[in-house]
Amino acid sequence: MARPLDGILVVSIEQAVAGPLATCRMADAGARIIKVERPEGDLARGYDNVAQGESSYFVWLNRGKESIVLDLKNPQDFATLEVILAKADIFVQNLKVGVLDKIGLSREKLRATYPRLIMVSISGFGEEGPFAHRKAYDLLIQGEAGLASLTGGPEMPARVGVSIVDIVTGMNAYEAVLEALVLRARTGQGADIRISMFDSIADLMSVPLLHHIGGKTPKRSGLTHPSIAPYGVFKTRDGYDILISIQSDREWRILAGDILGNPALADNPDFATNVERVAHRAATDEMVQQVFATMDADHLIAALIRTDIAFGQINDMAGLLRHPHLRQIEIKTQHGSVKYPAPASIPSYDFEPVPSLGQHTDKIKREFLSHDAD
């Protein structure tokens, strides 16, 4: 099956999650990814060893790539990188701000030497400002951008349970690359794309920030929604946690009449509109909980389905593994195959293996440094 990025060559000096996620999406779409690793390898290789003896993070984000080990302080290895870059369409890097300049790959040089090259730089806080040269990792940005302040229960802030900052940043980088490829097809010119982790999460914080500016600073509320009620978790008679989401006053009328057995709530001025239900959240939730506590989960779920009320259950990892909608892919590694959730894009490609450290070093050098690599 032809893929959208067939024929595109990507060179990536990447670490951890954000950069590798962006290039993983490119690899899935058909691009050739040459992953430049230092002699000790991408630091994510050492995060854990739960995936057939390999790191879960590395196995997740590095399928279909070629690994070449280069010491960029070594003049010969640096020259090899320049030869490969001369053939590249895209260059991705998430080195610390200023490192590219120090090793002799300034943007000005890259732009002048390779005018069609699409350059993607991922940083923590951008490349200017007081925090530009700080090291930045996922949890630190969750704190700095205010995300942790809204996550968890009332008692204390919490980390989002996955590396959400890195993931969003990587997806932003991938999106920007696709836009740049479209523009290059029209103009013949490359691009200088700069994506910061802080910007990526600050963008997601727009609604809470607007609430704060409007005088209604959101508070941590666990499994509820700060702007919608009822929207949260309620316990059934037999002890199951059921999440419901009432998105409109029309849905509230259905819930009140058909599930709660109290249609008069639809006209009660304290509960008739979402704004009032949020203002009286404790009373709203208490009415829902009282009724749900009289029903077993199977009976309640059947009623919610019948009335088309949105609901869900709180699965753990075992529940996710059993979920009827979980699609998985099987990826080969040097120590065996690993299965994990499929990417959300619809096409079902044949996914290539995860590379061992430096697996393709000799092959790539022969290809690009031979006299035939003009």
pLDDT per residue as tens digits for the range 247-299: 999 999 999 999 999 999 989 999 999 999 999 999 999 999 999 999 999 99
Residue 132, Cβ neighbours under 10 Å: how many?
Answer: 16
Give the tokens for residue 127.
């490349």
* Residue 225: active-site member: yes
170 phi-psi bin (left φ>0, alpha ψ -120 to 50, beta other): alpha
Mean of pLDDT values over 178-186: 96
Distance CA 320, CA 225 (A): 23
Q: Is the pLDDT of residue 345 over 80?
A: no
Q: Do the beta carbons of residue 244 and residue 288 sit within 8 Å?
A: yes
pLDDT at 374: 53
**Catalytic residue from among 225, 280, 335, 360:** 225
Exposure of 182 in the CB half-sphere (CA atoms within 13 A): 6
Are β-strands 90-93 and 336-341 bridged in parallel, bridged antiparallel, or unpaired? unpaired
Reported as a single tens digit per residue, the pLDDT across 68-102 is 999 998 999 999 999 999 999 999 999 888 888 88
Mean pLDDT of the chain: 92
Q: Is 244 exposed, middle or buried (0-12, 13-18, 19+ CB in 10 A)?
A: buried
Q: Taking residues 324-328, what's their average pLDDT?
A: 92
pLDDT band at 188 (very low <50, low <70, confident <90, very high): very high
Q: In angstroms, what CA-CA distances link 368 with 9, 33, 82, 146, 331?
A: 13, 14, 10, 46, 28
Say if strands 90-93 and 118-123 run parallel, antiparallel, or are unpaired: parallel
Domains and CATH numbers, the chain: 9-205+325-369 (3.40.50.10540), 224-313 (3.30.1540.10)
Q: Tell me the average pLDDT across 29-50.
A: 93
- Residue 91: strand pairing partners: 11, 119
